[in-house]
Amino acid sequence: MADMGGDRVEEAVASCAALLRPAAGRDWDGVRAGRLEWNCRRTAEHIASDLIAYAGQLAGRATEAYVPFDIALDEGTGNAGVVDVIEATGGLLAAAVRTTPREVRAFHPYPFRSANREGFAAMGVAEVLLHTHDIAEGLGLPYSPPDELCTWVLTRIFPQVRPEPDAPWSTLLWATGRGELPGREPVSDWRWSNNLVIGAERLTLQGVTPAAAADLRAGGTGGFEWIDGGPFDGTRDAAGMIVSAYGKGEHRPEWGMFVVVRRADGLAVGGIGFHGVPDEEGRAEVGYDLAENARGQGYATEALRALSEHALARDDVKLLFAAIDRENAPSQRVIARAGYTRVSEDLEKATRELHDLEGSLRLYSRES
């Protein structure tokens, strides 16, 4: 996962320019762009505006709102000039993505009020692909971007969407209300989803996208810089669970996996997260692990407290629980320091029978 999106932005912009430049002599003002209310000219200008806005967010390190600026094309600029501006602003976003440190997050309103460099790259690519499609529809031109580019977007900012491995472009169009997929209801209201980050005193818990999970499961870094000895095997196993849930359309980012990153140096030290969404009674299971070189410093306790407090602040969560081997004394100390207590033997027995838990596991819980 060496490329955090700069190359992808350039690839998307190149596909846009390849379609629009030969059509620059057409009437863009008098033609509506697909299903949009805008005409093709306004839509093309919007692509450029989005690209420079995202570049500005990253370059300006904006944390509370959008950087208050916009672009205006010179009077008399023709359609070919608009394509020039799209290429220029795309180059600026690609440069901003490449030069922004991995830990930097800048403001974006949905859904968690921030995005990292990869998120802004993915949003920029999505804007280019989708609005180029809108313009192509208006002008009656065929347009189909590379499948790999569409998959790249889906696995980063559409984690809740069940993929169609053989039809990523159709999936992206369906997910944004621009097309149909067999067996799925039409989409009328949609949002993309940047990864959630939960802050703690010395750590940040950074939500893992399906793309990062797939890389971790395959033996990669997931786009993180890890402490020596990391990631631990449990983190890779948990990443596999995310990949499986994503493939089934069951992944929900808030109830997935987080990589624990140390603020002081930006190094990832472990993984933490949930085994799935809360059940009908508001109960969810947590799990965690650390790389061996990060243990004994209170990181697991701090991360578990932060995750637990974030989850229990929600109206749909009443109880969190963890299953820990009775021989794992260090993990038992972590769970106790994080405010969890051992459940009664009767409840433990009933839960073990209901969920077919191993006899060596002990249950601990924390309520809202």
Enumerate the β-bridge partners of residue 198. 205
pLDDT at 246: 98
What CA–CA distances, in Å, run from 304 to 169, 205, 311? 38, 10, 11
Q: Is 284 helix (H, G, I), strand (E, B) or coil?
A: strand
pLDDT digits (tens, 9 = 90+) for 240-255: 999 999 999 999 999 9
For residue 2, pLDDT beyond 60: no
210, 215, 219, 223: CA torsion to nearest 10: -110
pLDDT at 349: 79
pLDDT at 355: 65
Strand ranges inside the chain, DSSP E: 197-199, 203-207, 257-262, 268-274, 283-290, 319-325, 341-342, 361-367
pLDDT digits (tens, 9 = 90+) for 178-220: 999 999 999 999 999 999 999 999 999 999 999 999 999 999 9
Residue 224's pLDDT band, with cuts at 50, 70 and 90, is very high
Give the whole-angstrom CA distance, residue 39 versus residue 173: 19
Q: Can you give the pTM of this predicted structure? A: 0.94
DSSP string, 91-134: HHHHHHHHHS-TT--B---SSSS-B-HHHHHHHHHHHHHHHHHH
Handedness of CA 157, 161, 166, 167 (dihedral sign): negative
Give the whole-angstrom CA distance, residue 326 versus residue 333: 12
Residue 361's pLDDT band, with cuts at 50, 70 and 90, is confident
pLDDT digits (tens, 9 = 90+) for 23-78: 999 999 999 999 999 999 999 999 999 999 999 999 999 999 999 999 999 999 99
Residue 110's pLDDT band, with cuts at 50, 70 and 90, is confident
For residue 102, pLDDT beyond 80: yes
pLDDT at 308: 98
Q: Which domains does the chain have, with CATH numbers?
A: 6-175 (1.20.120.450), 197-367 (3.40.630.30)
Q: Is 22 helix (H, G, I), strand (E, B) or coil?
A: helix
Q: What's the rounded mean pLDDT across residues 303-330? A: 95
Of all residues in the chain, what percent carry a pLDDT higher than 90? 93
pLDDT at 360: 77
The 10 Å CB-count burial string (b at 16+, else e) for 152-189 is bbbbbbbbbbbbbeebbbbbbbbbbebbebeeeeebee
Residue 264's pLDDT band, with cuts at 50, 70 and 90, is very high
For residue 84, pLDDT beyond 90: yes
